[in-house]
Structures are given as C-alpha cells and as structure tokens.
Amino acid sequence: MYKSVFTGYDFRALGVRVDLGFLGIKKVIKNGIVSIPHKASKCHPLTQAQKDANRVGSGQRIAVENTIGGIKRYGIVSSTNRMRTDSKFDAAMETCSNLWNYKKNFSTA
C-alpha cells in the first residue's frame, strides 16, 4: 500500500523516519533521507553508538505517538469516519489538533 500511495513523491525536502517494520523503504524512496533504527542479530549485536542512536530516535517516536494518542481522545477522529467530504474531516482533525496543542501549552500537569 505504501508503494502505491507514495511512489513518485519527492522526499528530498523532508526526512522520513520509520520503524523496523519498513525495512524495504529505501528501495522505494530513492531521493530522500530515510532514517531506520539499527537492527541487532544474534551474530551482530549493536554497538553502544547504535544503541544511543536508537534511543534518540525512540524518544522522538514516543513524543509523536503520545501526540497522536492525545488527538484521539477527542472521539471524532478515532471513530469510523462518516463525513461526506474530506474537507469536513480535515476541519475536524485541525480542531482536535488545536485543542490538543492548547491543552499541552496551558496545562499545569
């Protein structure tokens, strides 16, 4: 599915950060920066530098996953999309994103 959606898209201006589930993505994206965590095997354990790089990347992924989870707290984006047009869903997603940003910037927790 990824190949059919993003083939031909120019990723030179953007970096692509994925997890180990997308090991073959470098074959699809040839004109961009692709960041994939290092993978260990029984015969080739990770070095300390590779472990540190994976830790930095996982910290960034955690922040993104927490943001997505926070946006899904507003049930309109986590339930089945029954909106007639994409513009209505885009407006709902924008509203939920703004509410989440407002909560994160002004919460005392």
Query: Tens of pLDDT along 38-95?
Result: 989 899 999 999 999 999 988 888 888 888 898 888 888 777 777 777 788 888 889 9
Indicate if 53 and 106 belong to the same structural domain.
yes
Residues 61 and 98 occupy one common structural domain: yes
Return the pLDDT at 78. 77
pLDDT at 74: 85
To which residue do tokens 């513009």 refer? Answer: 87
| Tally of domains in the chain | 2
**pLDDT at position 107:** 61
65 and 106 in a single domain? The answer is yes
Q: Give the predicted TM-score (pTM) of the model.
A: 0.64
Q: Which domain holds residue 107?
A: 41-109
What confidence category does residue 103 fall into, taking pLDDT thresholds of 50, 70 and 90? confident
Phi, psi (rounded to 5 degrees) for 33: -95, 120
Residues 56 and 109 in one domain: yes
Residues 45 and 78 occupy one common structural domain: yes
Residues 66 and 88 placed together within one structural domain of the fold:
yes
Helix, coil or strand: residue 15: strand
One domain for residues 95 and 53: yes
Report residue 87 as tokens.
């513009």
